[in-house]
Amino acid sequence: MERLLINWVYLLRPEQWVKNLLVLAPPFFGGVLFTSQDMFLEMVLAFLAFSLASSTGYIINDISDIESDKLHPKKKLRPIASSSISITEATVLGLITLALSLGLSLYISKIFLLIIVIYLILSLLYSFYLEKIVILDVFIIAIGFVLRIEAGGVASVIDVSSWLLLTTFLLSLLLAFGKRRFELVFIKNSGAPYKEVLKHYKESFLDTTLSMFGTTAIVMYSIYAVVNESKTFLITVPFACFGVLRYMYLVQTNTRGDPTESLMKDIWLLLCVVLWLLVTTVVIYFSHIVDFIL
């Protein structure tokens, strides 16, 4: 029973839920996330709703890719591919996470529910068709991150900055193309069967996309920092630059590729993100102290 529960949790991929912290971005950058208990609890519900929706998407994807996952050195260990959990059991769990996600979303607002439904539809289309189309596969992933930001704005009733949306979209493209590059190199070195879309990618092209979106993501974040109308917010830009460059380094040295795994296992990237978060919190919520010191 204990092993079954572990497999069920593994199927939900809670380690990937860190991506859904993006729903907290609008109230966090808006300086209202910690202003009231009601606001904070509302955002916790939004985070859970999107996390359950993303877990539903992961289950759909694992069912869709079961045959190819069985041939992959790492993915063959996933619960469905390894037959630790049957497709029927996975479907039941997926229906439960779907129901909980939709219920929480409706409680938050109808517009939030609409965003979740759009995200789930994209996840469904991605799993069964769009993940096979070169470039478009990465764009769908990036749109998913933008939807997280927009959902956070809806839940907190905050108008999301266009610069923040653009930064999120470009950074997401960087992370997704970086993951594709790592997957491509991993498959070449391990001799595993190619994922269909990877047959169309070349390392040189993916290196170009890393340079392109790494640069534009930093520029967009810098512009966002400038229009924030707080000079102290510019302090956060060097951390953003280091974080982007560190991820690009990990990908192009074939060290890490998955953004979540890179964050959790690379001490320098993790330290950079933690310091960026601390500095940004101080700047936004205690800016008067920073202004006094400077």
Q: What is the mean pLDDT of residues 250-267?
A: 82
Domain 1-160 has CATH 1.10.357.140: yes
With 50 as the cut, is the pLDDT of residue 283 above it?
yes
Q: What 8-state DSSP symbol labels residue 285?
A: H
Separation of alpha carbons 184 and 178, rounded Å: 10
Q: Which of 99, 25, 28, 15 is nearest to 58 (CA)?
A: 15
Q: What is the mean pLDDT of residues 180-202?
A: 80
Separation of alpha carbons 30 and 49, rounded Å: 21
- Are 64 and 127 in contact, with CB atoms under 8 Å apart? yes
Q: Structure pTM?
A: 0.87
Pick the more confident residue, 167 or 288: 167
Residue pLDDT, tens place only, 68-79 = 777 777 777 777
Pick the more confident residue, 248 or 3: 248
Where would I find the H helices in 13-109?
25-29, 37-64, 66-70, 87-108
With 90 as the cut, is the pLDDT of residue 35 above it?
no
Residue pLDDT, tens place only, 62-102 = 888 777 777 777 777 777 887 788 888 888 888 999 999 99
